[in-house]
Amino acid sequence: MVAMTDTQQLQFRYMDDVDVSEVIANERSAYSHPWSEAVLRECLGGISECWVATMDKTIVGHGIISHVLDEGHLLNLCIGKSWQGQGLSHQFLIFLMSRLRELGVEKLFLEVRVSNEIAVALYKKHGFTQIGLRKAYYPAGSDREDAIVMAREIDSEIAQA
């Protein structure tokens, strides 16, 4: 794990084409079934907002959100493996929810692997509740894994977790 020092601050900016190789590296370090470069580039060129989290100009994570009218979707929230365990996903999630609120989003949805207990705990801590289950949603080796569907209202209580 790369430890964050007291003087380092997590910063957020839009993802750019030149960031894709670093984003893919983080994605591969963090997930057993990472997003492909093609899917990431499709998000960059589409209606989604793609963000990176940086520490001293190093990309430590990325987040992808979309919205239609007053509903938002957290498509991806990833912190590179060597940066995990320092509360960065907590900070990034608050930033992304605040951004969606700026865009007029009132309700945020996401899917998370049932096996990703750390992420499920993070989302619950931030007020998300399970509203459904998508059977065999994610690839898992030669099998499939269910996704928990979660949602929460986006209101003034964003940073209260």
Among residues 22, 71, 106, 111, which one is catalytic? 111
Alpha-helical segments (H) within the chain: 20-30, 37-45, 88-102, 117-125
Residue 49 among the catalytic residues = no
Q: How many CA atoms lie within 13 A of 83 on its CB side?
A: 25
Instruction: Return the bridge partners of 54, or none.
Output: 11, 59
**Which run of H or of E encompasses 64?**
strand 58-68
Residue 14 among the catalytic residues = no
Among residues 49, 123, 138, 145, which one is catalytic? 123
Which residues are annotated as catalytic? 111, 123
